[in-house]
Amino acid sequence: MHDLTVETPAWDGSADGEGAIMDDRRSDHQGVDTGDGGFSMVASMLSLVAVALLVALLLSTTLHSDSSSSTGISNAPGVAQADAIQAQQALTSALSAASTVATTAGGYGNVTPSALSAAEPSVSFATGPTTTWTTVSVAVSAGGTGGFGAGPSGSVTLADRGADGTCWLVWKSGGATWYGAQTKAASCAAPAIASAPAAGPVSSSAIGWQEGTFPTV
């Protein structure tokens, strides 16, 4: 009988094949890592540049800022506007108190700082000049009714000062209410005015008056 056993040659290429596949995978993996590393380096550089720019900007702002700088907080437009609103609101409260006092005192010409303080405790009142909006200067005149011939006799003028140096004023008689302003004032003293003020522009040398609402500065 013939021996039918077939000898199968050993396959010795499996190790080489697997090695080749692993080498290919390793090459692909190394390629991806190289790409990620490059991206990370670029991102890091951009971050450093951004930080450097921010630091330079902050240093420049700090070194060039002082108390007289137009970019200072106290000179910011929003702050100046808020200060003007506070000064005008204080005068509005003072005006309401003056109307209350005038009704019982016999006229605006009889309004006094003490009576105003009792009617409106949140505001301080004085007969002399003021340098802030928290204190309102008061002056009265015994005559005049604003040209309307009606209402309590006499008149009262109220004034306060904003932080930017603007004087805000209110003049009240029986039938008229006038509002005024004057810029660049070291202090503000309410003037005693017997008759209604004349309308005019706001300036640093004179009070600008208008009827019904505060003038624009």
Give residue-wise pLDDT tens across range 39-64: 466 556 666 766 776 666 666 554 44
Q: Are residues 172 and 127 in the same domain?
A: yes
Query: CA–CA separation, 204 vs 186, rounded Å?
Result: 11
Q: Are residues 92 and 41 in the same domain?
A: no
Nearest to 91 by CA among 120, 56, 64, 128: 120
Q: Are residues 108 and 194 in the same domain?
A: yes
For residue range 173-186, list pLDDT tens digits in order.
987 899 999 999 99
- Per the structure, the count of domains in the chain is 2
For residue range 80-128, list pLDDT tens digits in order.
688 899 999 999 999 999 999 999 999 999 999 999 999 999 999 999 9
For residue range 187-210, list pLDDT tens digits in order.
999 999 999 999 999 999 999 999
What is the β-pairing status of strands 124-126 and 135-141? parallel
Give me the helices (H) in the chain, please: 14-64, 77-105, 113-119
CA distances from 112 to 90, 96, 116, 202 (A): 17, 14, 6, 28
Nearest to 164 by CA among 63, 101, 81, 46: 81
The per-residue pLDDT for 41 is 67
Q: Are residues 59 and 103 in the same domain?
A: no
Q: Are residues 24 and 93 in the same domain?
A: no
Q: Are residues 57 and 99 in the same domain?
A: no
User: Would you say residue 149 lies in a domain?
Assistant: yes
CB burial class (10 A; 0-12, 13-18, 19+) of residue 169?
A: buried
**CA Rg, the chain, in Å?**
41
Nearest to 170 by CA among 85, 111, 117, 92: 92
Q: Are residues 132 and 35 in the same domain?
A: no
For residue range 137-172, list pLDDT tens digits in order.
999 998 654 433 334 589 999 999 999 999 999 999
Is 71 a residue whose pLDDT tops 80?
A: no
User: Would you say residue 71 lies in a domain?
Assistant: no
Nearest to 195 by CA among 137, 144, 156, 126: 144
Q: How many CB atoms lie within 10 A of CB 30?
A: 10
Nearest to 65 by CA among 74, 53, 52, 55: 74
User: Would you say residue 94 lies in a domain?
Assistant: yes
Q: Are residues 99 and 124 in the same domain?
A: yes
pTM of the entire predicted model: 0.63
Domain region containing 20: 9-65
Q: Are residues 47 and 88 in the same domain?
A: no
Residue ending a domain, among 65, 90, 110, is: 65
Q: How many CA atoms lie within 13 A of 19 on its CB side?
A: 5
User: Would you say residue 193 lies in a domain?
Assistant: yes
Q: Are residues 42 and 135 in the same domain?
A: no
Query: CA–CA separation, 127 vs 165, rounded Å?
Result: 19
User: Would you say residue 1 lies in a domain?
Assistant: no
Q: Are residues 125 and 51 in the same domain?
A: no
Q: Are residues 183 and 86 in the same domain?
A: yes
